[in-house]
Amino acid sequence: MTAYDIHHEALEASSAVTSRPRSGKVHRRLREQRFWTALPPVNACYPHVARVEVAISDPGDRVRTWLADREAAEKLVRIAPQTTTALHRRHLFTSRVIEHALSLGITQFLELGSGDPHISAAHATVSRAQTHPAPTIVLVDHDPIVYARAWADEQERPEQWRRSTFVEGNVFAIGAMLNSLTAQGLLDPSQRVCVLAVDILHFAEPEIDIRTVPRRLARRLAPGSLFAATHLTAEPLPAPASTTTRTRLRTTTTEWCRAHHRCARPYPRPRSHADFTGLFTGLDLLAPGITTPGHWPAPDNTHRPRAPYTLAAVGRVRTPLSSQTSPDPRRRAHEG
C-alpha cells in the first residue's frame, strides 16, 4: 500500500464523521478564506474542483479522482466543450509566465490555489527549468485532500520535489501567508517573487475583496516582482461579431458556474473586464495588457469566444516613488 493509499483511506474515514452544520455556514466559509490556518473540513461526499480538474485533464484517472469528481467533470464538459481546452490554455499561460520570469532572473515562485500537483504546470515547469541558480516554488492550497496527495507524491517521488514545497493554508490571507512562508525560510520577500493567481480569484466568496490580494502583495514584495492572474468572465474581450455570440457566452457561463454547485464550496463567479483590470491598479501591466491565457503574451482578437472564457494579465510591482526621488543626503545636509 502506497503512502497515498494510506492517506486516502484516512481522509475517507474522517469525512464520514465530519459534520457540516447549517447554522453559521456563511460565517464559516468566510473564516475559511480570511484566516491563514482556518481550513475547510474534509468532505469526500461531494466533488471538489481540484479533483474535478484532474478528471477533466485525464478522464481515465481512477487514483486521484472519485466517481463523483468524474461525473462532475463530464457535466462541465457537456455544458461547455471548451472546458478541456481552457484547462490546457491555463497551463500554457502558467508555463509562459514562469519562463518569462526566469528570463528576467526571478527564481522565487509562489502559486496560490495550486490544486493537485499532479497537473500543476507551475510545479512541472519549475522542476524542469535549466536556469542557474535553480528556481524554487511554494505551492499553497487549503484543501486537506490536495495536501495529502502532495505529501504522498513527495514521499514517492522526492526527486521531483527538490525545488517545490507544498504548504497547506488559505491563499486569501496574504499577510499571514507571507509571514509564515518567510519565517519558514521558504520565501525571501526582499528578493523578487513571481506570484501565480491562476483561476483562483473567481473562487473567492462575495464578501472577499479580491483587489486586496495584489495590493497586499505589492506592499510586501520587492520591486520588480510579478503578479500573474486569470479570472473567469462572461464578457468577450474584443467587440463580439454579434449579439448572439455575447448572449451565448453569458448563458453558457452561467450554466457552467451553476454546475459547480454540486461540488464542495467555494463556487466560481465571473467578473467584468473593469473588475479584472482593477486588480492591477498600482502595478505596471506587462504587454499586451489584458488578454486571455491562450494568447498571452499576445493580444486576443477572438470574436467568437466560448465558455469557460477567462481573462489574463501580468503586472509588475513598481519601485516606490520615494526610492526614485529621494535626494542625495549630502546635498540635503548642505542645503540645510
Q: According to the model, what pLDDT value does residue 63 have?
A: 85
| Spatial separation of the C-alpha atoms in residues 23 and 292, rounded to whole Å | 40
| Spatial separation of the C-alpha atoms in residues 216 and 34, rounded to whole Å | 14
| Spatial separation of the C-alpha atoms in residues 311 and 271, rounded to whole Å | 10
Q: According to the model, what pLDDT value does residue 280 have?
A: 98
**CA distance readout (Å), 169 to 31, 111, 176, 217, 243:** 12, 12, 10, 16, 43
* pTM, entire model: 0.85
| Residue 210 burial (C-beta neighbours within 10 Å; 0-12, 13-18, 19+) | buried
- Give the phi and the psi of residue 98 in degrees, each rounded to 5: -65, -45
Residue 67 is which amino acid? L
- Write out pLDDT tens, residues 146-190: 888 888 889 998 998 999 999 999 899 999 999 999 999 999 999
Cβ contact 309:240 at 8 Å: no
| Spatial separation of the C-alpha atoms in residues 86 and 92, rounded to whole Å | 10
DSSP-H helix ranges across 24-120:
25-34, 49-57, 67-79, 83-103
* List of residues 6+ apart from 335 with CB closer than 8 A: none
Chain mean position to CA 264: 17
| Residue 69 burial (C-beta neighbours within 10 Å; 0-12, 13-18, 19+) | buried
Q: According to the model, what pLDDT value does residue 72 have?
A: 96
Q: According to the model, what pLDDT value does residue 333 have?
A: 34
| Spatial separation of the C-alpha atoms in residues 229 and 221, rounded to whole Å | 16
Q: According to the model, what pLDDT value does residue 242 have?
A: 87
**Cis peptide, bond prior to residue 236, ω within 30 of zero:** no
Secondary structure class of 112 (helix, strand, coil) = strand
Q: According to the model, what pLDDT value does residue 255 have?
A: 98
What the block records as the C-alpha cell of 31 is 473564516
Q: What angle do CA 53, 58, 59 make, to 5 degrees?
A: 95
Cβ contact 136:168 at 8 Å: no
Ranges of the chain whose pLDDT falls below 50:
1-23, 325-336
* Residue in the block written with cell 519565517: 183
Strand order across the 136-141 sheet: 164-168, 136-141, 108-112, 193-197, 226-233, 309-317, 283-285
Asked whether the CA dihedral 290, 104, 130, 134 is positive or negative, the reply is negative
